[in-house]
Amino acid sequence: MFPEIENQKKRAGFKAVEKIKNGQIIGLGTGSTVYYSILKLSEKVKRGLKVKVIATSKETKALAEELGLEIIDLNDVEKINLTIDGADQVTKEGYMVKGGKGALTREKIVAFYSENYVIVVDETKLVNSLGGKPVPLEILKFGWKKTINFFREKGVKAKLRVKNDEVFVTDNGNYIVDVYFSSIQEPEKLERELNNVPGVIENGIFTKKPNEIYVGRKEGVETIKISPLKFI
Which chain residues interact with ligand 5RP by CB under 6 A?
29-33, 85-88, 98-104, 107
DSSP type of residue 76: G
In the complex with ligand 5RP, which residue's Cβ is closer, 31 or 199?
31
Pick the catalytic residue from 6, 107, 188, 212.
Answer: 107
Q: Check if the beta carbon of residue 162 is closer than 8 Å to that of residue 134.
A: no
In the complex with ligand 5RP, which residue's Cβ is closer, 88 or 212?
88
Q: Check if the beta carbon of residue 201 is closer than 8 Å to that of residue 173.
A: no
Question: Does the annotation mark 107 as catalytic?
Answer: yes
What's the CA gap between 183 and 3, in Å, rounded?
Answer: 30
CB of 45 to ligand 5RP, least distance (A): 22
Q: Check if the beta carbon of residue 159 is closer than 8 Å to that of residue 177.
A: yes
In the complex with ligand 5RP, which residue's Cβ is closer, 102 or 199?
102
Closest CA to 16 of 31, 4, 2, 3: 31
Length of the chain: 232
3-state secondary structure of 115: strand
CB of 15 to ligand 5RP, least distance (A): 14
What's the CA gap between 220 and 42, in Å, rounded?
Answer: 22
CB of 116 to ligand 5RP, least distance (A): 17
In the complex with ligand 5RP, which residue's Cβ is closer, 50 or 95?
95
3-state secondary structure of 197: coil
Give the CB-side neighbour count of residue 232, counting CA atoms within 13 A: 21
Show the beta-strand stretches assigned E in 5-127. 24-28, 51-55, 70-71, 80-85, 89-91, 96-97, 114-122, 126-127
CB of 57 to ligand 5RP, least distance (A): 7
In the complex with ligand 5RP, which residue's Cβ is closer, 13 or 199?
13
Which residues are catalytically annotated? 107
